[in-house]
Structure 1
Amino acid sequence: MTVKIGLIGCGGMGRAHIDRIVNELSGAEIVAAADVNLEAAQAVADSVGGDAKAYGTGAELIADPNVDAVLIATFGSVHTPDVIGAIEAGKYVLVEKPLATTAEDCQAIMEAEVRGGKKLVTVGFMRRFDKAYNEIKALVDGGEYGPVLMVHNRHRNPSVPESYTSRMLIDDTAIHEIDTMRWMTGEEIVKVRTDSVRKSTRAHAKLEEPIVLVFYTESGIRIDDEVNVNLEYGYSIECEVVMENAAARLGDQEGIYVRDVHGDRNRMCQDHNDRFHGAFNAEVQSWINAVAEDTHTGSSSWDGYAATAVVDAALASQEQGGTEVEVELIEKPDFYA
């Protein structure tokens, strides 16, 4: 079976997914594209050839009987109607993070999915498909080195545009660590604190960064996350998991080191598409395969909801000057057990 995919959102992330589906992955084709900018949708449709159609709304694309599954790469604030629309149409959907920008919208999505009686939603938390993260998770799950005590994370970018806000440090950037830590530890995050530090002179006037987030899980694991988005030297993701009898950390960048008379160095990645290219490919290929087999893969709507609930608590802490805030979670539906 060739899965016929419709793309909603033809910006940079959407085009990156088109490129991987057309040129690197197997088992799928792009049959439709939608964007509020119809010209952008038409450009994507033209680029993939065939009889691909262009639409001005996600609703039109979802209603197309030729579309088997939907890939959503629009802004998080507009995800909810299209995700629910895909659920009600009985179509599998891969939606880029966040699932939605409020816990209430995430709950509405879960309610629609539960009503339909079938897991159709995968949230694009691609780090779950990263080779190095999976190797660390295997150590954690294996228990050879004892339970996890603490985790140290760093999320660094070379720069961000003027449109990037202080809120986005949490709901656009740190949300990746939030999901990864839930997945890796197998526990919900129950408390969070957002600490401000000395402002970088490279940050634009309205951006207060870096920040450090401190999370606590159900069993008391302490997790910290440095979010530093104007560090100039490159895109760098670091994670060290400290267990009772060992510590495991991500290798640097996925590249090689060269040692010569000039020193010890490696190539720095410059953005998330560079660093997580393999993880993105594995995520989307896994989704395509699952759709072809009529089954669910990857993170669920509950995972999207839980991550957004932690984001809400972290934003509240940020607004309150760094007070510790408890994460408010509804009872997990049996549907997502």
Structure 2
Amino acid sequence: MSLRIGVIGTGKIGQDHIRRITYSLQGAEIVAVTDVNSELAERVVKEENLNAQVYNSGHEVIKADHVEAIIVTSWGPTHEEFVLASISAEKYVFCEKPLATTAEGCKKIVEAEEEYGKPLTQVGFMRRFDRSYRQLKKVVDDGKIGETLMVHCAHRAPEAPGFSGDMALTDSLVHEMDVLRWLLDDDYVSAQVLLPKRTRFAAEGLQDPHVVLLETKKGIRISVESFVNCQYGYDIQCQVVGETGTANLPEPASVAIRSDAKLSNDILVDWKERFIDSYDVELQEWIYSTIKGEVSGPTAWDGYVVAVTADACVEAKNSRNIEPILIPKRPDFYSKSHVLYY
């Protein structure tokens, strides 16, 4: 069986997903595409040699009878609209982050799924599918370092073109907000944001770096450094401190060079290279689980929790206080009977 997919948004990430589904993954084919730039959509179909129809709008793709599942890779403010329409059409939908641009929008999607009676939405938080994060989670879950006490993280990128306002928190750090909940099987209760000395490489009006301090229900303390103009490379770090040991996120593989009296390793500079394999795993698992009628990754509920957490971090940044993160109890609706947790 081949899952027939419609793609809404044929920009860079949309094109990447189209190529991996068409040429690298199994069990699916792209049969419909659309983009606000219709010429771009037409060109992608031609260049990738797709047997796909180009539609005038996302809603036409969703309503098309031959389309069985939807991928939303359009501009962020359109995500809520297209995900809600997909649920209304009773079609599984994979939505790149953000699920919606507001926590209230995410909540509407959760409520729409509850009314339908089954989860249909997966959010594109790809780190859960990264091999190194899965290795780290197995160490934590197996109790190899005892009970977790603290987590120290860093999210560093060489530069952040186009970033302004609170985007370092609401656009980049959301990946930590999701993957750490999954890693620890825990939820957050409070946030504090510290503002170190501002780098001269930050765009005007952009605070960079940030230090975010989170506390979980289990009492675990988390520190996350967000530095999106670090200049030297794309560097994701995570150390879990347990009662009997520590565990570090494995570094991406690179060749160690001994030359000129130096030992050196290359550091990646492109986030897509760092997580390229996780995108393949993420979409392959989504295809297989969709065919089985299940959700295999981050749900609409997870997207909602991340939005609430991001809002609290922004509030903490502005108030300079420790702010509560008020996450309701996860509805029984999002239970393991409907959702596969890896």
User: Post-superposition shift, 1:297?
Assistant: 0.8
* Structure 1 match to 2:264: 265
Aligned length: 335
* Structure 2 match to 1:5: 5
Instruction: Give the letter aligned to residue 12 of structure 2.
Output: G
Q: TM-score, normalised by structure 2?
A: 0.94
* Structure 2 match to 1:139: 139
Separation in structure 2 between the aligned mates of residue 76 and residue 259 of structure 1, nearest angstrom: 45
Give CA deviations for 1:113-157 in whole Å, capped at 9, x if unaligned: 111112111111111011111111111111232111111111111
Matches within 5 A, 1:282-301: 282-301=281-300
User: Post-superposition shift, 1:251?
Assistant: 2.1
- Unmatched 5+ residue regions in structure 2? 336-342
Matches within 5 A, 1:233-252: 233-252=232-251
In the alignment, is residue 326 of structure 1 matched against residue 331 of structure 2? Answer: no
In the alignment, is residue 32 of structure 1 matched against residue 55 of structure 2? Answer: no
Instruction: Give the letter aligned to residue 138 of structure 2.
Output: A
Separation in structure 2 between the aligned mates of residue 156 and residue 7 of structure 1, nearest angstrom: 31
Instruction: Give the letter aligned to residue 289 of structure 1.
Output: Y
* Structure 2 match to 1:129: 129
Separation in structure 1 between the aligned mates of residue 276 and residue 48 of structure 2, nearest angstrom: 21
C-alpha RMSD over aligned residues: 1.3
SS of 2:46's equivalent?
A: helix
Cα separation, partners in 2 of 1:251 and 1:226, compared to 1, 3 Å: same
SS of 1:5's equivalent?
A: strand
In the alignment, is residue 229 of structure 1 matched against residue 253 of structure 2? Answer: no
Contact 1:150 1:241 in 2 (8 A): yes
In the alignment, is residue 274 of structure 1 matched against residue 266 of structure 2? Answer: no
Contact 1:155 1:238 in 2 (8 A): yes
Contact 1:31 1:51 in 2 (8 A): yes
Separation in structure 1 between the aligned mates of residue 58 and residue 39 of structure 2, nearest angstrom: 14
User: Post-superposition shift, 1:262?
Assistant: 4.2
* Structure 1 match to 2:84: 84
Matches within 5 A, 1:164-175: 164-175=163-174
SS of 2:154's equivalent?
A: strand
Instruction: Give the letter aligned to residue 199 of structure 1.
Output: R
Separation in structure 2 between the aligned mates of residue 257 and residue 11 of structure 1, nearest angstrom: 36
Matches within 5 A, 1:37-76: 37-76=37-76
SS of 2:17's equivalent?
A: helix
Instruction: Give the letter aligned to residue 306 of structure 2.
Output: A
Q: TM-score, normalised by structure 1?
A: 0.96
* Structure 2 match to 1:208: 207
* Structure 2 match to 1:106: 106
Tell me whether 127-136 or 21-30 shows the greater mean CA deviation.
Answer: 21-30
In the alignment, is residue 20 of structure 1 matched against residue 35 of structure 2? Answer: no
* Structure 1 match to 2:340: none
User: Post-superposition shift, 1:252?
Assistant: 2.0
Separation in structure 2 between the aligned mates of residue 22 and residue 263 of structure 1, nearest angstrom: 43
User: Post-superposition shift, 1:50?
Assistant: 4.2
Contact 2:145 2:247 in 1 (8 A): no
User: Post-superposition shift, 1:267?
Assistant: 2.2
Instruction: Give the letter aligned to residue 192 of structure 2.
Output: R
SS of 1:56's equivalent?
A: coil
* Structure 1 match to 2:339: none
SS of 1:334's equivalent?
A: coil
* Structure 2 match to 1:192: 191
Contact 2:257 2:264 in 1 (8 A): yes
Instruction: Give the letter aligned to residue 216 of structure 1.
Output: E
Tell me whether 33-42 or 228-237 shows the greater mean CA deviation.
Answer: 33-42
Cα separation, partners in 2 of 1:223 and 1:65, compared to 1, 3 Å: same
User: Post-superposition shift, 1:216?
Assistant: 0.5
Separation in structure 1 between the aligned mates of residue 75 and residue 194 of structure 2, nearest angstrom: 26
Contact 2:73 2:95 in 1 (8 A): yes
Tell me whether 23-32 or 148-157 shows the greater mean CA deviation.
Answer: 23-32
What is the identity percentage for the equivalent residue pairs of Structure 1 and Structure 2? 38
